[in-house]
Structure 1
């Protein structure tokens, strides 16, 4: 029997940084919970036609999002895409039959670990190494807030996908 991954409720009285980091961790853990106990085949299932979105695709996408915002944008690292290329700009959303939860989860968790490392010693006011296409700067506060939004939106997708795969509902 598979256990449901733990999830920590964010503090209701924390300071700004702890609050932002708490909500980001909560949403990271929520996505993992939505995937818990499913087979690779179930995780690859695009269960809401006509969309080709799957839970495994969401996890791969979030690995790319973590990589993009923390490694590329915040730190200015050269970090090429993991799952997409010019031939398939949405390749992260298109897992193949040979793609597994084990690999996707390990990659996603490695990107989360790196994101935590890159943010750890920075002020919320620190500006990212790269700017927007319009030349606007991002500070770490903006990136953390955006990451919460990105996870929250995709966790809504994950709720629906999971319910359609096996009927599971809930947090």
Structure 2
């Protein structure tokens, strides 16, 4: 097994105030996902975890680009945006990749959504409520969204660990 190497990944502060702490942990988990994809070819990033499942590392990054868009731009800021990949006919299309799906394109879209998420969040305080509402008809405060996103990335980074180990035997970070 090959251990993964640490790419440039921000370590969360151990003594920060609440907002920088939440943002630090979210950025840490965002970049952890990139580390788990580092050094693989496009073909490896498109390799299914355990056939017949179509779950891939590149599909996971596409999914998290949609998650960033949904929580920070659509829910928090109230923007009306189309999904990046999913459709009514195929709500899981973010996970669907083809032979032409590339890491360069996928990472660029994901990084653009992360940048847009940061911009949206900057306009809100932790106690400010989202302009959009959840399925129960209630808004979320930014603190809840940050906490949820940390959980979302942490859970999916665990999935990425298993897929990466399956693809090339690399473990770690």
Quote the Cα distance in structure 1 between the aligned partners of 2:6 and 2:104. Answer: 16
Structure that is richer in strand per residue: 2
Structure 1 runs of 4+ off > 4 angstroms? Answer: none
Matched position secondary structure for 1:130: strand
Partners of 1:155 and 1:51 lie apart in 2 by 17
Q: Is residue 2:57 matched to residue 1:44?
A: no
Any stretches of 5+ residues in structure 1 without a counterpart? none
Q: C-alpha root-mean-square deviation of aligned residues, in Å?
A: 1.1
Deviations 1:93-119 (A, max 9, x none): 111111111111000000000000111
Give secondary structure in 2 for the equivalent of 1:128: strand
Q: How do residues 78-93 of structure 1 correspond to structure 2 at under 5 angstroms? A: 78-93=80-95
Offset, 1:4: 5.5
Deviations 1:58-100 (A, max 9, x none): 0000000000001100011111001111121100011111111
Aligned residues: 169
- Structure 2 segments unaligned to the other structure (5+ residues): none
Among candidates 140, 148, 151, match of residue 150 of structure 2: 148
Query: Within 5 A, what are the aligned runs for 1:106-117?
Result: 106-117=108-119
Q: C-alpha distance in 1, partners of 2:6/2:85?
A: 27
Q: Does 1:64 align with 2:59?
A: no
User: 2:106 and 2:153 mapped to 1: Cα distance?
Assistant: 16
The correspondence for 2:36, drawn from 29, 34, 37, is 34
Q: Distance in 2 between matches of 1:59 and 1:96?
A: 14
| TM-score after normalising by structure 1 | 0.95
- Partner Cα separation in structure 2 for residue 128 and residue 121 of structure 1: 11
Any conservation in 2 of the 1:83–1:92 contact (CA below 8 Å)? yes
CA distance in 2, matches of 1:53, 1:170: 20
- Pairing partner for 2:55 from 47, 53, 56: 53
SS in 1 for 2:132: coil
Structure 2 counterpart of 1:163: 165
Q: Secondary structure at the match of 2:130?
A: coil
